[in-house]
Amino acid sequence: MATALVDPHNRTVRDLRISITDRCNFRCTYCMPQEGMRWLPRSELLTFEEIERIARLCVERFGFDSIRLTGGEPTVRADLPVLVTGLSALGVDLALTTNGATLARLAGDLQRAGLRRINISLDTLRRDRFCEITRRDALDDVLAGIDAARHAGLAPIKLNCVLVRGVNDDEILDFAQYGRERGLEVRFIEWMPLDGGGSWTADRVVPAREVIDRIGAVWPVDQVAARGTAPADTWTYRDGGGRVGVIASVTQAFCAACDRIRLTAEGQLRNCLFSVRETDLRAILRSGGSDDEVAAAVEAEVGRKWAGHTIGQVHFVRPARSMSQIGG
């Protein structure tokens, strides 16, 4: 029988975020440095078998009920549906976060492999701006991927838009309308200090309250109660036009309800997105470690989970890794 993992702050940890690659087919301005990216050799990445072993232990030993696959960009990993098949057999809420560029050809295979939910990252609906942010002219590919996900029956489909003041905050209403027209839940995310170039400043964060006020002035909304451990606060449109969400990671941090840990592509376990330390599970696996040893390492790392990330406070320490190297 599974035994729940409870951290030092009485939070039950049950959500595993797994980065399956550090590689990406975009070079996003607010994710990666412009130069100097060093991709991991394939031999350093966890194999599908190693990923499944860690995931199975978290589910069977500790009652984890949610797994999210991230990257880098997870769809650049060869044979991704094979991994999805293995993880979906665990009977958990399995989701994927992707930039959508290759979904047009993968969505059906992923759905048949057992994927049900998908998050698609899209920070602009304007072609020139998309090229500037991602350094690729691939907006049409992403929009086709969104349509393919809808056609494949993946649901819910959530669009993640990271807002940066002076870059894309003039598109809030455009995104809201796009989601309303297609039955998608757009989630606006406050920009966090995890960018590859180290250019984050607090004055460029667009607060969640401002986002909702601007949307509500055009399409009145009502807040959905009881966010629970989910990162997004959600609102419903009064006219029946669906839902919209905001993730206020900076201005209204939700650390007190966090139930997540993260596994990097090379097998480092992190107890927080902003953690400055890691536990090397790959070393345990590849040295012949037993399931008990892996489970003990997971439990120990959860036991070090801190109360919150302290963004905006004088003692905040920025992680050495960027978002693309950690996984969302």
Task: Give the pLDDT confidence of 239-287 residue by residue, as tens digits.
Answer: 999 999 999 988 887 788 899 999 999 999 999 887 878 999 999 999 9
Kindly list the distances between the CA atom of residue 30 and the CA atoms of 132, 298, 316, in Å, as whole numbers in the listed order.
Answer: 11, 30, 20
pLDDT at 9 over 80: yes
pLDDT at 308 over 80: no
pLDDT at 191 over 80: yes
Of 87-96, 261-270, 275-284, 306-315, the range with the lowest mean pLDDT is: 306-315
As to burial, measured by CB atoms within 10 angstroms (0-12 exposed, 13-18 middle, 19+ buried), residue 108 is middle
Domains and CATH numbers, the chain: 5-326 (3.20.20.70)
pLDDT at 313 over 60: no
Task: Give the pLDDT confidence of 23-32 residue by residue, as tens digits.
Answer: 887 777 666 5
pTM for the structure as a whole? 0.91
Kindly list the distances between the CA atom of residue 26 and the CA atoms of 29, 65, 217, 254, in Å, as whole numbers in the listed order.
Answer: 9, 31, 34, 29
pLDDT of residue 40: 87
pLDDT at 160 over 60: yes
Residue the block writes with tokens 């047009």: 104
Helix (H, G, I), strand (E, B) or coil at 263: strand
pLDDT of residue 276: 79
What is the distance, to the nearest Å, from the Cα of residue 197 to the centroid of all Cα atoms in its chain?
20
pLDDT of residue 35: 58
Of 27-36, 108-117, 181-190, 276-285, the range with the lowest mean pLDDT is: 27-36
Cα gap 92→130, rounded to integer Å:
34
